[in-house]
Amino acid sequence: MTILQRSPPSPLSRHGRGAVTRRAALRALAAGVCLLAVPPSRAAPEQLAAALREAFGDRAITPGKVTLELPKLAENGAVVPVTVSVDSPMTERDHVKSIHLFAEKNPLPRILEVQLGPHSGKARVASRIRIADSQQITAVALLSDGTLWSAAVQVEVTVAGCGL
Amino acid sequence: MSEVGTARVRVPERAKRGEVIEIRAMIEHPMESGFRLNNVGKPIPRHIVESFTCEYDGREIFRATLHPAVSTNPYFLFHTVATVSGELRFTWKDDRGGVTTHIARIEVSAE
């Protein structure tokens, strides 16, 4: 079929068919590596629901009391600053026992868990996390009375996935 | 037992009893997620810090459980109530048996 390629060579076919194929193959390979780096995930909300069930069983989680601070647009998904605070007096009788962070589309939805108590004085924790793709991040707080409260924030990620 | 990495901690040198103080702690660690592939397509084995704790005067005041989604050089900011002058002991453990401990002192004065 080489005979059909007498028309002026396009920039891509400059090096002949072999080169184009190899380049295309390399490109496809690079894309493939990128995709392979993150194992195929289940549907995001299902994955989040499964992670929440694993952590808290079938207990009710109510939106509120928790403030989750994340940039709306994260340029680098590998280092995203996060701050979670909970509206709590942090007394012996009424305090936050733990805070849990989840990412619905990360290969593993659990990000981190921290344990606090009345000695914390203030229910506020900051860290830096990886976000594989634009998605919703959820924070859940377990209070001393056994109730669960949550907040969720949608984060758009510019450079993502591969660097995880 | 190997070290996890170099720790950097910020604790106020002095505080008043009952004051809520801010603590920052970071450790140098690759936090290799286990999901990345090397240049020949082989998975790079997971190597992460799994736990971080802070003890104040012998009592655990903060504990974090980390998963691969915590960034390289894990960093935490948290608070505690200044009660007595003494030691804050920070401990990081990774999934290869590495342990790093860092100690900071705080002087607590009466109100």
SS3 for A34-45 is HHHCCCCCCCHH
Give the mean pLDDT of B87-104.
Answer: 96
Which neighbouring-strand residues pair with A81? Answer: A128
Give the mean pLDDT of B19-45.
Answer: 94
Q: Considering only the beta carbons, identify the residue of B41, B74, B79 that sits closest to A122.
A: B79
**pLDDT tens per residue across span A85-109:** 999 999 999 999 999 999 999 989 9
pLDDT of residue A26: 56
pLDDT of residue A5: 47
Give the mean pLDDT of B56-80.
Answer: 97
* Beta strands B59-66 and B49-56, pairing class: antiparallel
Q: Considering only the beta carbons, identify the residue of B21, B37, B79 that sits closest to A33.
A: B37
Look at domain B7-83 and name its CATH class. mainly beta
Q: Read off the pTM.
A: 0.82
Size of interface A-B (CB pairs under 8 A): 104
Residue of chain B whose Cα is closest to the Cα of A80? B71
pLDDT of residue B4: 85
The percentage of residues in chain B with a pLDDT greater than 90, rounded to a whole number, is 89
> Which residues in chain A land under pLDDT 50?
1-5, 7, 9-16, 18, 32-41
Q: To the nearest whole angstrom, how far is the Cα of A122 from the nearest Cα of chain B?
A: 6
A117 contact B CB<8A:
yes
Residue closest to A111 by CA, chosen among A47, A60, A66: A47
Give the mean pLDDT of B90-108.
Answer: 96
pLDDT of residue A1: 43
Give the mean pLDDT of B28-49.
Answer: 93
Q: Which two tokens stand for residue B95?
A: 């999934």
Residue of chain B whose Cα is closest to the Cα of A114? B64
